[in-house]
Amino acid sequence: MNPTTNSWIPSTRRVALLTLFALSSSALASYAAKPVTVSSPDKKITAELSVSSGSLTYRILVDGHQVLAPSRIGILSDGIELGEAATLGSTHTHSIREQYPFMGGHSVAINHANEATIPVTSHGESFSVDLHVADDGVGIRMRLPAKAGRKIQADRSSWKLEGEPTMWVDKLDNSYESLYRTTTLSQLTSEPMGMPITFHTGGLYVTITEAQIKDYGDLAVKRGDDGALQGYLYADPQGWTTDDAVVQPWRVTIIARDLTTLVNTTLVQNLNPPPSADLAKADWIKPGRSSWQWLAIGDPKQADQQQWVDWTNQLGFEYYLIDEGWEKWNDPWNALKSVAEYAKSKNVKLWIWVHSREVHDPEARQTLFRRAAELGVVGVKVDFPRPTNRDWSNWYYDTARDAAAVHLMLDFHGASKPAGLERTWPNVLTREGVRGHEYQITRYKRHLTDEHDTILPFTRYIAGGGDYTPTVFESKELQGNTWGHELAQAILFTSPYLCFGGHPRDYLANPARDVLTAIPSVWDETRVLPGSEPGKVVAMARRSGNRWFIAAINGGDTTMLDLPLGFLGKGAWKATELFDGSKPDQWDRESANLSSSDHVKKELSPRGGLVLMLVK
């Protein structure tokens, strides 16, 4: 009898053992295949994490109908596909219900969600998957435990939308300054795309992006052969090595039944940790409007800085930004001190521009920030950061921390997409990461398309505030826009640090001066008005205190708008109405008494717009 075989086992016992093994294997397979299901608090959105053909996937259902088909989540680490050959463990669930102050299109963010943490084993390695399911969408991420010398090689995140959705996408650009365009899923090539990307499918608006990009590279997507948008770490093609735990950024799918719900989401911010108690109540963090010389004249001139401060004071703006070129002045830091002192006497606070290379080294950064703060500077615009690989993702956090330590606010320019950093570090008021007004000025000979401005509020601005530098009134700089289109930009393109791009002299002399200077940088309430359609026209009503502003921007075709005013509620409202005149640089200005039963009906010319200010 060969002791290396089991032929010596009695046949009845052998049958029993084989049966038991078969049952155990079947049970294990069944356990591994059983999806983990988490629903939103309102029970209308459901996310399922499951193992399909050995691969870790998730899908999203709305009202029981699949919106996101099974989509892969995984990380390639040390040559092992974590997410393949996977089994799921016992799930831990909890609920989140909180609200916090928000600077943007509304004043309060609500974070109400159900979360689950699911242990996963893949190729003998254990890690966790977090699911966050809210009434406005889903976040999912992997968390790998610390491991000495772990090599992160690739990210396997994907989104697979059902059907043939209309999409609003932009080509990947390291500084996120590409044009947004309208397309469909089948028309996509394998060209890399940045996020956020918004879809219209099955009567829903779906935006995909990511949140809390820290100690990890920024993600872009490409269309795969199966139609899924597959993520890849464009700035980390060789990956990185770490001894620390690895926390994948949240892969975010925002879901909205209408455009008002879409633009009011705070899912990206909600997926980030709250600030420290001291920072949450910091009285030195203040949103506001700023004048700025760079679009108007280029480099700042040392001799006319008091004039720029005076113009800022006359406009009633809180801030004045001195952009690139001040460092070339004679004795620049002392000159800056003089401007800051004069600005203080005029109730204007100063921001300055710096190149990211000047604040890349931690010691140099802390020294520069401390010196600026000691001179009375309140904010710094940091420009030209490198593409967001893992190291530069940490740089954003380190820079925010060091700025907060000396009470400085920040504007990251030439930056990657927002991912909710401003919740943890509210001194980060805004960032660029958008093709804004600098692409329209004549000296650059660049351009914006007819549809770009009408898409931005429903794509890029879903993730956070953007430094578009709006509103130019100089005739030669309109480049096909009208005054109405230009003024509406300052209302529609939200930025808690609202840096106006035009020359203050043009603002002060314009018949719309009273309306322009009344536009705030943050809002209490936002509604998207009927007739809005990404790529064609956008119209919104935004409230600040007891004032409503209505703004519309048109695309390339003549559009008739019929805007109901039911949101006004009871009472009469005095309206200042700014419609396009017979020429692009003219106003048709009217006054009216309006109520909630009224409608504003107006035909918009191509690249036209309108703005109304209503006071009760």
279-317 pLDDT, tens digit each:
999 999 999 999 999 999 999 999 999 999 999 999 999
Report whether pLDDT(105) > 60.
yes
pLDDT in tens, 149-168: 999 999 999 999 999 999 99
pLDDT at 15: 35
Average confidence (pLDDT) over 114-118: 98
- Of the ranges 68-77, 252-261, 434-443, which one carries the lowest mean pLDDT score? 434-443
pLDDT at 444: 78
pTM confidence score: 0.94
Report whether pLDDT(439) > 60.
yes
Domain boundaries, the chain: 1-32, 34-270
Q: CA–CA separation, 443 vs 593, rounded Å?
A: 43
pLDDT in tens, 516-557: 999 999 999 999 999 999 999 999 999 999 999 999 999 999
pLDDT in tens, 320-344: 999 999 999 999 999 999 999 999 9
Report whether pLDDT(20) > 60.
no
Average confidence (pLDDT) over 569-576: 96
pLDDT at 34: 87
> Who has greater pLDDT, 74 or 5?
74
- Between strands 319-322 and 349-355, the pairing is parallel
The answer to whether residues 413 and 437 touch, using CB atoms and an 8 Å cutoff, is no
* 343-356 burial: b if 16+ Cβ within 10 Å, else e: beeeebbbbbbbeb
Q: Any residues with CB less than 8 A from the CB of 396 and at least 6 apart, and which?
A: 213, 385, 388, 412, 415, 421
Report whether pLDDT(394) > 70.
yes
pLDDT at 332: 97
Written out in words, the top-level CATH class of the domain with range 34-270 is mainly beta
Average confidence (pLDDT) over 574-595: 97
Q: Any residues with CB less than 8 A from the CB of 527 and at least 6 apart, and which?
A: 260, 540, 541, 542, 567
**Residue 396's pLDDT band (boundaries 50, 70, 90)?**
very high
pLDDT in tens, 447-456: 789 999 999 9
pLDDT at 7: 34
Average pLDDT value over all residues in the chain: 94
- Report the Cα–Cα distance between both ends of the chain, in Å, rounded: 99
Report whether pLDDT(562) > 50.
yes
- Between strands 288-292 and 319-322, the pairing is parallel
pLDDT at 33: 53
> Who has greater pLDDT, 99 or 8?
99
The amino acid at 112: H
Q: For a pLDDT cut of 70, what percent of the chain falls above it?
A: 95
Report whether pLDDT(442) > 50.
yes
